[in-house]
Every structure is written in C-alpha cells, then in structure tokens.
Amino acid sequence: MKAEELYGLLKESELTNLCFPGFHKVGDFDIDLNKANAVGNILKEWIDKWMTSKGIVHIYNEMQDSPDFWFDPENKEHELLEIKCFDYLNRGPGFDIANFQSYIREIIDKPYRLHSKYLAIGYGMDIETGTVTIYQVWLKNVWEMCCASSNRPIKVQEKKNVIYNIRPSVWYGNRSSFPTFESLEDFLAAIEQTIYDYNQTRPIAEHWLKNLKDSYEKFFGISLNVPRWYDIKDKYVLKQGK
C-alpha cells in the first residue's frame, strides 16, 4: 500500500462524510474533544481501524513521535504517513510540521523522512451540538505544505527570536501571500538559509547542506541540486508587499 492508494480509498470511503460528537460526557462534565488534538487522535485511531477492516497491512504508531503510520512492516524507511488535522472552518492549519532543530538534524540521519506523506484533514465543529464533520482531505509532500514568511525563508513558530516549529502554509484557496514550495530542492534551500540566518543553528550552517546531500545520495542514489535561496526567493515572496 502506498499513501496515494490509501488517499484514493479514503476519498471513496465514509471519511469525508464522517461525523461524531465533539463533546464527551465524563461524570457530570462535558469534555471538549476539539482541544488537545483530541479530534486528531480520534481520526488516527479511526483510520487505523478502518485500514485493519480492509485488510491493509500497516503499523499504527501510538506514540507521540513520527510517523503516524508505516505501510511496510518489513522496511520502516519508506511509505511513511503523517496525519495532520485542523479546524478548517475557523482556524486554518495551525499544526506543527516538525520541531525545526530536530528536523534539520533528523533528515541528515534519516533522509527518507523528506518523503513522508502528509494526510491533512480539515474538519469543522458545530458549536451548538459539538458535532465534528470532515470537510476536506488532502495528501501532500512536506514541501507542498510549507512556504516562506515575512520573517524567515521558511514559515516557523518563533517567540522572542527563538524558533520552535516549522509551520504549514494555508495551501488551499487564496488566503496566503506566500505560495508553497514547488519542489523538495526549493524547500531545502529555504531551510538552509534559515539555518544560516538563525543564530542558534548558524554554527552548523557551513556543512549542513553538504552533509544532507551526501546522506541523501547514499540512501537514494540521487544527487540533489539545491539552489541558493536568494536565487529563487522572488518565486516565494513575490506577493509580499506587492
């Protein structure tokens, strides 16, 4: 099973018509399932049980680390799937792609993580009833979910000049001034420049891209041709201030 096949099957399944109560009675109290990623956890478990019912071979990772699913139990270095859920009607994609500093080190050790697929699920919750309804489902590569920002070559969560997480773009509609990256190489160019610009990662900047390219070529047998950020910047910040 590949993520693309799963996506096609899910689109034909009851997932896009799935509704479930958003509030759960615990004793005398209603617990809001729209908080603390409860909706996401429920949907991951639903997808796990649905795949099991269809005889789709997979491993469901119940831990908090990535990925959420492996489709090849014999080889956990390919066919990885992440599930990302968000309030489609009110908040947009506010989830984290990954912790920035962890990610830039992990993809050198595990270059195959660059090809994890992301199943993004947009839901809405009826305020009166608490019922959760699935509205949209997308399957994306990581670069198709990321973009630049006015502050950094790649959009991140940043507080008091400390970068925490890589954040997604609003890839649907016309709500974002920054287009998503067109390729893996452009995505990596944005990351490399952010590593140079950010004082906490600048010490590794000089050799980071070379180490990544060497690791990627060793694993995939493919030499990455990553451009310099300032050679492609206009493609991704063109709408800013225009």
- Domain for residue 157, yes or no? yes
- Domain for residue 8, yes or no? yes
- Domain for residue 207, yes or no? yes
Count of domains for the chain: 1
- Domain for residue 242, yes or no? no
- Integer Cα distance of 6 and 86 in angstroms: 20
Q: With both helix axes pointing from N to C terminus, report the angle between 229-237 and 184-197 in degrees, rounded to the nearest 10.
A: 110
Can you give the pTM of this predicted structure?
0.89
Place of tokens 């896009």: 16
Compute the half-sphere exposure of residue 158: CA atoms within 13 Å on the CB side of its CA.
16
The per-residue pLDDT for 158 is 95
- 165 by DSSP, 3-state: which? strand
Residue 147 in contact with residue 179, Cβ under 8 Å?
yes
Domain with 149, as residue range(s), is 3-237
- Domain for residue 136, yes or no? yes
Residue 199 in contact with residue 153, Cβ under 8 Å?
no
Helices (H), the chain: 3-12, 38-53, 100-109, 184-197, 202-220, 229-237
Tokens, residue 97: 């792609």
Q: Helix/strand/coil (H, E, C) string of 185-226?
A: HHHHHHHHHHHHHCCCCHHHHHHHHHHHHHHHHHHHCCCCCC
pLDDT one digit per residue (tens) for the chain, 242 residues: 688 888 888 877 767 666 766 656 556 666 666 554 778 888 888 889 989 998 999 999 988 788 999 999 999 999 999 999 998 888 889 899 999 999 999 999 999 999 999 999 998 877 666 678 888 899 999 999 999 999 999 999 999 999 999 999 999 877 678 999 999 999 999 999 999 999 999 999 999 999 999 999 999 999 999 999 999 999 998 654 44
The per-residue pLDDT for 242 is 40
Cα 175 to Cα 61, 77, 93, 178: the distances in Å are 33, 35, 12, 9
